[in-house]
Chain A
Amino acid sequence: SQKIEQNSEALNIQEGKTATLTCNYTNYSPAYLQWYRQDPGRGPVFLLLIRENEKEKRKERLKVTFDTTLKQSLFHITASQPADSATYLCALREGGFKTIFGAGTRLFVKA
């Protein structure tokens, strides 16, 4: 079955720097991959979707890349702010109606 790996260690960066989060997957070739943000005590909120034929997608300070050869997606937040501190989840559709979520990487941005 599909497996998603995200760095379980928290990422600590200084305000203004670029945060880069990694999502690796195995055993499947998803048509698209999604990134969600989750704040403590709240449900995930959709951020970006990137399709297999797209190398890169941008939205304001966010950028996602999708390398189907490496089976990897990178999620970048440029000019990071303390308000960007949250857990970021990677998700892909395994098939049919099932979406597989990674465990998430927690990001801390220090002022």
Chain B
Amino acid sequence: NAGVTQTPKFRVLKTGQSMTLLCAQDMNHEYMYWYRQDPGMGLRLIHYSVGEGTTAKGEVPDGYNVSRLKKQNFLLGLESAAPSQTSVYFCASSGQPEETQYFGPGTRLLVL
């Protein structure tokens, strides 16, 4: 039982490049979330999903897209990376929206 896993762990991009962050969970959770964490700021919700095939915008969705084609996977895409997207990205999942969120180990992204 791995919980929530994220790939890659670390990535360096040049401005304008694209990439996809992968999140996988093996707890059969319906709800999945993508957050970014910046120094001095709390985790901010980028996008979330309430089930397979659904996605919704969070607090800071601009510049990101997501897909939830399979229940266990939640992908976060950056179509044209910008230096402002340098951050640590965390994926989380929960069985119900009011339940505890289980977080992955994070992906550290540096955009030059």
Contact = CB atoms under 8 A, between A and B. Distances in A.
Interface residues of A, number: 24
A102 B105 contact: no
A98 B41 CA distance: 16
A101 interface: yes
28 contacts: A4-B42, A8-B40, A31-B98, A32-B98, A41-B106, A42-B106, A43-B4, A43-B90, A43-B92, A43-B103, A44-B43, A45-B103, A46-B102, A89-B42, A89-B43, A93-B97, A96-B97, A97-B31, A97-B56, A98-B45, A98-B48, A98-B59, A99-B33, A100-B42, A102-B42, A103-B40, A103-B41, A104-B42
Given A42-B106, A98-B58, A101-B42, 20 more contacts: A4-B42, A8-B40, A34-B100, A41-B105, A43-B4, A43-B92, A43-B104, A44-B90, A45-B103, A46-B102, A93-B98, A97-B97, A98-B45, A99-B45, A99-B101, A100-B42, A101-B35, A101-B44, A102-B42, A103-B40
